[in-house]
Amino acid sequence: MPSYTAPIKDTQFILHNVLKISEKAIPGYDELDADFTNAVLEEAGKISSEVLHPLNTVGDTEGCRLENGVVYTPTGFKAAFEQVKEGGWTGLDMPEQYGGQNMPYIMGTAVGEMFSAANQAFTMYQGLTHGAASAILAHGSDAQKDTYLPKMVSCEWTGTMNLTEPHCGTDLGLMRTKAEPQDDGSYKITGQKIFISSGDHDMADNIIHLVLAKIPGGPDGIKGVSLFIVPKFIVKEDGSLGDRNGVSVGKIEEKMGIHGNSTCVMNYDSATGYLLGTEHKGMRAMFTMMNEARLGVGMQGLAQAEAAYQNALEYAKDRLQGRDVTGVKNPDGPADPLIVHPDIRRNLMDQKSFAEGARAFILWGAKMIDQAHRAEDKDADGLISLLTPVIKGFLTDQGYDMTVQAQQIYGGHGYIEEWGMSQYTRDARIAMIYEGANGVQALDLVGRKLAQDGGKHVMAFFEMVKNFCKENGDISESYSKEFIEPLKAASKDLQAAGMYFMQNGMTNPNNALSGSYDFMHMFGHVCLGLMWAEMAKAAQAELDAGSSDAAFYETKIATGRYYMARQLPATALHLSRIQTGGDTVMALAADQF
Amino acid sequence: MPSYTAPIKDTQFILHNVLKISEKAIPGYDELDADFTNAVLEEAGKISSEVLHPLNTVGDTEGCRLENGVVYTPTGFKAAFEQVKEGGWTGLDMPEQYGGQNMPYIMGTAVGEMFSAANQAFTMYQGLTHGAASAILAHGSDAQKDTYLPKMVSCEWTGTMNLTEPHCGTDLGLMRTKAEPQDDGSYKITGQKIFISSGDHDMADNIIHLVLAKIPGGPDGIKGVSLFIVPKFIVKEDGSLGDRNGVSVGKIEEKMGIHGNSTCVMNYDSATGYLLGTEHKGMRAMFTMMNEARLGVGMQGLAQAEAAYQNALEYAKDRLQGRDVTGVKNPDGPADPLIVHPDIRRNLMDQKSFAEGARAFILWGAKMIDQAHRAEDKDADGLISLLTPVIKGFLTDQGYDMTVQAQQIYGGHGYIEEWGMSQYTRDARIAMIYEGANGVQALDLVGRKLAQDGGKHVMAFFEMVKNFCKENGDISESYSKEFIEPLKAASKDLQAAGMYFMQNGMTNPNNALSGSYDFMHMFGHVCLGLMWAEMAKAAQAELDAGSSDAAFYETKIATGRYYMARQLPATALHLSRIQTGGDTVMALAADQF
C-alpha cells in the first residue's frame, strides 16, 4: 500500500520565500502569513493522508457501479465526502456570501494539490462542482446564484460539465443536443453527453449539470451553442427539491484509471434546463469553467507525480539490491539500497526536480489568477491566459512520465497492482486527455494565445525572464553559471522558436502548427527553469542569512542544479525540431500512410 | 474493437531489399527467397489477425483464474493454442531433429512480431517455452534434450523461467531457493519464485520449469547459482507422465496488463529437479534464455507500437473533427478527418517512423544471431551482444511511448477500455520491466558491453557506420543532406559520449553510470538512423530501377526523412546530459531527498 505525506514545507517555501505572498498587494493576501497558511496546509495534509489517501486503492479496486439507474461510489467515499464538507474544504476559495471561506485561489490550489495527490478520483467530485459553481458565479443571474451556489459551495449539491457527445469532443460545433425554448422561459434539453465525470453518484442530494446545447434556429456551429443549468432534481421556489428531471445515466464507462470517479453517459430526455448567461454564448461561459479546470488538471499532473515519487523514494531507500560501484554502503546488509545506484538517482532526481519545479509553476499561476480576479491586473490576466495551455499540457505530459518512472523503480513490483504504483500511472494518464487533449492545448498556445493582444503577453514573458536574468546575474559566479546562463539559453531557444513561427507560419500555418507540441514543451521547460532560478535564489538568501535549516536550502539548490543541467537543455532539441518546419510532418497524403 | 493487419510488405522490404537475406552466405538463408518468406508471413499474418487478435481483448477482460490449484486461461486460448501448435509455429526456428522446421532465427523473429502484436499475453506462453527449450538445447545432456525438446518444440509441454524471488530481482546473488543433492543424482528444490510468466495454465500436458537455485555449500552470491529442470509432472523413463512434482501455484498476480498471461507465484516444496549444465554455472545457462528473451522483449515494444499505430491511424482517418487550417479537405462532411491536423500528423509520423525503423533494427539483430549461430561469425556475435541491451531498452521505452501517443489520438475514447487502446499501453508497460528493467539494460551496456573484448565491438559499430556513410555519401545531394549528414552527426555524438565515459568514468564510475540511460537511448537512435539510411537507399534503388510500386518506396523515403529530421537529433540532448557527469545526479545524500 502506498502512502502520502503532504509537502507542506515545500509549499510554504514557495508561498513565502519565493512568491512572498503576504507582501503582495493583492486583496486577501495580507492575511496569508506563514503561520496562517501553515495551519491550513497542516489540516489539509492531515485529511489528505488520513482520510482521502486510504480510499485511493479502494476506489481503484471497487470502482463505481450503476444499479437500477443509481450510481454507487466505492466504500468509504460517502463518509469521507461528509468530512470534507464539514471541514469547509469545498468552499475554501469561494465567496463568504455563499458560504465560502473567501481565501485566495492560491490557497485553494495548494490544498487542491494535496487532495488530488491523495485521491484524484475522489477529489474530482469536488473539483467539478467548483468549476460549475465558478461558471454560475461568473455568468448566472442573482436568482440562479442564490438558488445554486450556497448548496454547491458546501457540496451538498455537486456539479458537472457536459460538453462531449459521441461524435464530437474538441469540435463542439458539431454538437447535436437540443434546447427547445418553453413558454415559462425554461428549455427542454434533449441529447446524449458522454465522458461526464462525477455524472451521478450517491454523495449529494442534487447534481447540477451544466450542459452545452443548441437552441434550434440559432447560428451554425460553435457560435450557436448555449449553456444550461440542468438539475438532477428540480429545485422548487422555496429551495427544496422537487421532481426528478429528465436526465438519467446511460452507463458508467470502464476506464484505464480514476475508477473511483463515475464517468457517465448522460441521457437528457426533455430535461428542464435554465439558460446560464447569454443565448448562443455558451462557449464563453463554458470557458470560465474550462480555464479553471485546465489549471486544475495541470495540478493533477503534478499531484500524481508527487505521490508516485514519494513512494518510489521510499522503495529506493528500503529495497536492497546490488552494491554501490564506488564502495559498499550497507556493509551489514546483504546488499545496498537501490538509491546508491546512479541510474536510480537519475530517475529520482528527474522526479524530484520536476515535482518541486511544477509546484512553484502552479502556485505562481494561481497567484496570477488572484492578481487578475482580485486586483484586476490585466497583465496578469493576459499572462495566465498564455500560460494556461502550458500548465495543462506540459505538466500533465511530464507528470505522467514521472509516474511511469516512479513505477520503474519498483521493477516487477511496479507492474502488479498490489504496490499501487500502476494506479498512479493509470490515473495520471487521463490528465493528458481531458479538458482538451494536450495536442489541443498546443494548438491553443501557438494558434491563439501567442498572438493574443498583438503578442503582448508573450513579449511580457520574455521581458520578465530577461529582467530576472539581468537583476540576478551577479548574485554569485556559481549562480550565474548554474542558473542564469542556462535560463538565458533556454529562453533564447524559445524566442527563436517564436520567431520561426512568425517568419514561416504566415506563408504556411503548418510550419507553425507542426511545431506546436514541441513549443508547448519548451515553454514549460523555460517556466520550470525560471522557477528553479527563483527557488535557488530564495534558498541562497536563507543560507546567506544563516538559516538554521541549511540542509533544506542546500537540497533545494542541488535539486535546481540538476534541473538546469539535465532537463532544461531539452529546449535545444525542441527548437531543432521546430525549425525543420512542416514539410517532413505533412509530406504524406493521408492514403500514403 | 481494435484490428490488426500483419505488416507483410514492410517486412518483406526489410528482408529482401534492405538485408537481402537470400544473398547472404548464412546456412539456411539461401532458401529464404521472397516467395518463400512471403508465403510464411502470409500464413502467420492470417493466424495473427484471425485467431490471436480476436482473443486479445478477451484475455485482457477475463484474465486467468486460479481455482483449487489449477490455472485456467481465458476463453478461447486453449483452442487457439492448439491451432498454433498444429500449424507448426511453435518450432519454426527449432532443429528438425526435435520436430522443428529449422528455419533461421530471423524468420522466427518476423513471425514473432506478428503474433506478439496480435496478442502479447497469449504469445508469451509460446515465447517462454522457446526460451526454455533454447537453454536445454544449449546446455542439456543428450538425454535431457531427447526427453524434453520434442514435446517443448511442439508446445505439448510449455516452459518457464524462474529467477525472481520476493527479496531479489536484479540481484540474483541474494537468492534463497535451495537445491539439495539426492543420491540418484537429482536435487530437491525448495523455495518461492515470483513473477513467473506462464507459470501454470491449462493449455499443455506438462510444464517444464527452469529454476535457479543454490546448492548448499557452494560459492556465495551469484557464483553459487545453478539451473535446474523442474517438470510439473515427473517424466518417466518411457516418456510418459508420472507423479505430480512438488511445485504449486501460490497465487496469480493482479497486474496492470497482459492479463491473459498467468503471472504466478510458484512454490517449490522439495520438488525434484535435474541439474541443467554445470553446477554453480547456472547464470551462464540462464543467460542463453535471457539474451534471447531480451531480443524478444525488444520486439514486443515494436509489436505493441505497431498494433496501436495501425488503430490510431484508422481512427485519425475516420474521426471527423475540426477543419484543416490550410483549406477544407472534406467539404461534404461536417468536419475534416483528424489526420489533416499537423499535430496529429506529428504524432502519427512519430509512430510510423519508429515502428518501421524498429522492425529493421530487430530483423538486422536477428540476422546477426543467425550469423553467429549458423555461420559461427564471432564479430556478429560480439555486435549483437553489444546491441542486445539497446534493442531491449530503447525499443521497449520508445514502443511504450508510442502506445501512449496512439492512445492520445483517440482523446477520451483512448482512455475507456471499450476501444482497446488502453490495453496496448498497459500491455506494453511490462516490456520496460521484465527480463531486466531498462535501467539494468543501460548498466549492462555501459558497465559491461562497451568494454567487452577491449571495446572491439563498439569500435566495429562505429567503423561500420563510418564506412556506410563513406560508401553512400554520393548517392545524391539530397540523400547526403537528408540521411548521411544527420547519421554522421548522431554517430559523432555517440562517439563523444563514449569518449566522455572513457575519460571520466575511470576516476569516478558515477560519471559514466549517471549517463548510461541517455547513452542507451542515443545508441538506439543511431541504430534507427542507420536503418533509415539503409531503407531510404534501398527504396531509392527501386525507384531508380523504375519500380511499378513507386508510392510505397516514396512513402518509405518520406518516413525516413521525418525520422532523420525530427527524432535522430535527440542524440545531441542525450550527449549534453551525459557530459554534465555524475555530480548533479549524485549530489544529494540519501537522507537529503
Terminal-to-terminal C-alpha distance of chain B: 45
* Mean pLDDT, range B394-408, rounded to an integer: 98
Q: Does B168 reach chain A within 8 Å, measured CB to CB?
A: yes
Q: Give the list of residues 6+ apart from residue A59 with CB closer than 8 angstroms, or none.
A: A73, A74, A77, A119, A121, A122, A259, A260, A261
Size of interface A-B (CB pairs under 8 A): 263
- Give the H/E segment covering residue A441: helix A438-444
Per-residue pLDDT of B511-527, as tens digits, reads 999 999 999 999 999 99
At A550, the pLDDT band (50, 70, 90 cuts) reads very high
State whether B442 and A340 contact (CB < 8 Å). Answer: no
Average pLDDT of the residues of chain B: 97
What are the tens digits of pLDDT across the range B317-328? 999 999 999 999
Locus of grid cell 542507451: B520
Q: Which of the residues B346, B418, B419 would you substitute to probe the A interface, choosing the one with the greatest number of A C-beta atoms within 10 Å? A: B346
Domain boundary among A280, A310, A338: A280
Q: How confident is the model at residue B69 (pLDDT cuts 50, 70, 90)?
A: very high
Residue B289 reports pLDDT greater than 80: no
pLDDT at B285 over 90: no
pLDDT bucket at B295, cuts 50 / 70 / 90 = very high
Query: Which residues face B72 on adjacent strands?
Result: B65
> What's the Rg (C-alpha) of chain A?
24
At which of A139, A172, A197 does a domain end? A139
Verify whether the Cβ–Cβ distance B339 to A593 is below 8 Å.
Answer: yes
Residue A165 DSSP one-character state: B
What is the SS3 assignment for A157? strand
Taking only residues 213 to 272 of chain A, the set having a beta carbon closer than 8 angstroms to any beta carbon of chain B reads 253-257, 263
Q: What is the tally of structural domains in chain B?
A: 3
Half-sphere exposure of B178 (CA within 13 A, CB side): 8
d(CA B7, CA B10): 6
Q: Which of residues 403 through 422 in chain A touch B, CB cutoff 8 A?
A: 404, 407-408, 411-412, 414-418, 422
Q: Which among B528, B452, B462 has a CA at the least distance from the CA of B18?
A: B528
Name residues 507-566 of chain A within 8 A of B (Cβ).
Answer: 508-510, 513-514, 516-517, 551, 554-555, 558-559, 561-562, 565-566
Q: Residue B513: name the closest of B447, B568, B441 by CA.
A: B447
Q: How far is it, in rounded angstroms, from Cα B492 to Cα B505?
A: 19
Q: Is the minimum CB–CB distance between A193 and chain B shorter than 8 Å? A: no
B513: which chain A residues are within 8 Å (Cβ-Cβ)? 325, 341-343
Q: Is residue A398 part of a domain?
A: no
pLDDT at residue number A24 = 85
pLDDT at B506 over 90: no
Which residues numbered 63-122 in A keep a CB inside 8 Å of some CB on B?
none
Residue B289, chain A, CB below 8 Å: the answer is no
Q: How far is CA A208 from the centre of its chain?
A: 22
Nearest chain A residue to B515 by CA distance is: A343
Is B346 close to A437, i.e. CB distance below 8 A? no
Q: Which of A320, A326, A569 sits opposite B510 (nearest CB)?
A: A326
> ipTM above 0.90?
yes
3-state secondary structure of A276: strand
Give yes or no for B151 touching A (CB within 8 A). no
**Closest-CA residue of chain A to B336:** A171
A312 belongs to a structural domain: no
Question: Do A586 and B167 make contact, defined as CB atoms within 8 angstroms?
Answer: no
What lies within 8 Å, CB to CB, of A467 at 6+ separation is none
Q: Is B590 on the interface with A (CB under 8 A)?
A: yes
A55: domain CATH number is 1.10.540.10
Sorting pLDDT into bands at 50, 70 and 90, what band is B1?
confident
Answer yes or no: is pLDDT of A288 > 80.
no
Q: Are B182 and B239 within one domain?
A: yes
Torsion of CA A468, A469, A474, A480, to 10 degrees: 130
Band (A289; pLDDT cuts 50, 70, 90): confident
What's the rounded Cα separation, in Å, for the pair A241 and A396?
Answer: 39
Q: Do A585 and B562 touch (CB under 8 A)?
A: yes
Residue A515 lies in a domain: yes
Same domain, A166 and A123: no
Distance from CA of B228 to the nearest CA of A (A): 23
Beta carbons of B373 and B105 less than 8 angstroms apart = yes
In angstroms, the CA B52 to CA B259 distance is 15
Nearest CA in chain B to A258: B415
pLDDT band at A287 (very low <50, low <70, confident <90, very high): confident
* pLDDT tens digits, A554-586: 999 999 999 999 999 999 999 999 999 999 999
The pLDDT of residue A108: 97
User: B433 and A442: CB-CB below 8 Å?
Assistant: no
CB contact under 8 A, A425 and B256: yes
Its domain, for residue B461, covers: 453-583
**Residues of chain B contacting A252 with CB distance shorter than 8 Å:** none
Q: What is the model's pLDDT at position A506? A: 87
What mean pLDDT is reported for chain A?
97
- C-alpha B564 chain-centroid distance: 23
pLDDT digits (tens, 9 = 90+) for A462-486: 999 999 999 999 999 999 999 999 9
Within a domain: A199: yes
| B109 and B49 assigned to the same domain | yes
Nearest Cα to B56, choosing from B124, B154, B111? B124
d(CA B126, CA A345): 37
pLDDT in tens, A3-34: 999 999 999 999 999 999 999 889 999 999 99
Same domain? For B112 and B195 the reply is no
Residues B183, B108 within the same domain: no
DSSP helix/strand/coil, A323: coil
Residues A108 and A191 in one domain: no
Q: In this predicted structure, what is the pLDDT of residue B124?
A: 98
Nearest chain A CA: its distance from B508 CA (Å):
8
Give the C-alpha separation, B214 to B177, whole Å. Answer: 6
Confirm if B427 and B121 have CB atoms less than 8 A apart.
Answer: yes
B25: number of CA atoms within 13 Å, CB side?
2
d(CA A305, CA A398): 8
Chain A: residue whose CA lies nearest to B351: A593
Q: Does B337 touch chain A (CB under 8 A)?
A: yes
Please answer yes or no on whether A573 and B569 come within 8 Å at the CB atom: yes
Whether A356 maps to a domain, the answer reads no
**Residue A354 · residue A528 · CB < 8 Å:** yes
The stretch B459-472 carries a mean pLDDT of: 98
Give percent of chain A with pLDDT exceeding 90.
Answer: 96
- State the catalytic residue, choosing from B306, B435, B482, B542: B435
Provide the annotated active-site residues of A.
Answer: 435
A362 assigned to some structural domain:
no
Residue A32 Cα distances to A57, A102, A365, B104, B501, angstroms: 34, 12, 17, 72, 50
CB A495 within 8 A of CB A465: no
B40 and B116 housed in the same domain = yes
Same domain, A185 and A116: no
| Confidence grade of residue B169 (pLDDT, cut at 50, 70, 90) | confident
Q: Is pLDDT above 80 for B587? A: yes
Average of pLDDT values for A442-471?
96
pLDDT tens for B407-437 read 999 999 999 999 999 999 999 999 999 999 9
Judge contact between B309 and B352, C-beta under 8 A: yes
Is the pLDDT at B382 greater than 80? The verdict is yes
List the beta bridge partners of residue B190: B178
Confidence of residue A292 (pLDDT cuts 50, 70, 90): confident
Among B251, B280, B309, identify where a domain stops. B280
The number of beta carbons lying within 10 Å of the beta carbon of residue B249 is: 18
Minimal Cα distance from B411: which residue of A? A433
Flag if A342 and B510 touch (Cβ within 8 Å): yes
Of B345, B447, B517, the CB nearest to A585: B345
Q: Confirm or reject contact between B347 and chain A (CB < 8 A).
A: yes
| Residues from chain A contacting residue B565 (CB–CB below 8 Å) | 577, 580, 584
Please say if the pLDDT value at position B343 is more than 90: yes
Q: Are B523 and B544 in contact (CB under 8 A)?
A: no
- Write B588-592 long-range contacts (CB < 8 A, 24+): B588/A349, B588/A555, B588/A558, B588/A559, B590/A317, B590/A337, B590/A339, B590/A340, B592/A551, B592/A554, B592/A555, B592/A558
Q: If you ran DSSP here, which 8-state letter would residue A320 be given?
A: B
A1 and chain B in contact, CB less than 8 A: no
pLDDT for the residue A290: 80
Q: How far apart are CA B152 and CA B158, in angstroms?
A: 6
**Residue B167: inside a domain:** yes
Scanning the structure block, which residue is given the C-alpha cell 499501487?
A420
Q: Which of B401, B566, B571 to mutate to test the interface with A (most CBs of A within 10 A)?
A: B566
If asked whether residues A42 and A169 sit together in one domain, one would say: no
- pLDDT value of residue A509: 95
Q: Using a CB-CB distance cutoff of 8 angstroms, which residues of chain A are in contact with residue B175?
A: none
CB contacts under 8 A, B 292-321 vs A, are 313, 317, 320-321
Residue B288 confidence class, pLDDT cut points 50, 70, 90: confident
Residue B284 clears pLDDT 90, i.e. is over it: no
Q: List phi, psi (to 5°) of B251.
A: -170, 165
Q: B577 — contact with chain A (CB < 8 Å)?
A: yes
Does the pLDDT at position A291 exceed 90? no
Cα–Cα distance measured from residue A238 to residue B64, given in angstroms and rounded to the nearest whole number? 56
CB contact under 8 A, B170 and A322: yes
Q: Is residue B192 part of a domain?
A: yes
Burial class (CB in 10 A: 0-12, 13-18, 19+), A263: buried
Q: Is A181 on the interface with B (CB under 8 A)?
A: no
On whether both B195 and B91 belong to a single domain, the answer is no
Burial of A39 (C-beta count, 10 Å sphere; 0-12/13-18/19+) = exposed
Residues B29 and B114 in one domain: yes
The CATH number of residue A205's host domain is: 2.40.110.20
Q: What is the pLDDT of residue A208?
A: 98
Q: Does B174 touch chain A (CB under 8 A)?
A: yes
Examine the domain organization and report whether B522 and B571 are in the same domain.
yes
Q: What is the pLDDT of residues A159-212, one digit of tens each?
A: 999 999 999 988 988 999 999 999 999 999 999 999 999 999 999 999 999 999
Residues of chain A contacting residue B407, judged by C-beta atoms under 8 Å apart:
429
Residue B513 to residue A341, Cβ atoms within 8 A: yes
Burial annotation A54-80 (CB, 10 A radius, 16+ → b, else e): bbbbbbbebbbebeeeebbbbebbeeb
pLDDT at residue A535 is higher than 90: yes
Considering only CB atoms, B584 lies closest to which of A334, A565, A586, namely A565
Instruction: Tell me the pLDDT band of A421, cut-offs 50, 70 and 90.
Output: very high
Beta strands in B344-384 (DSSP E): none
The per-residue pLDDT for B432 is: 98
- A58/chain B closest Cα distance in angstroms: 15
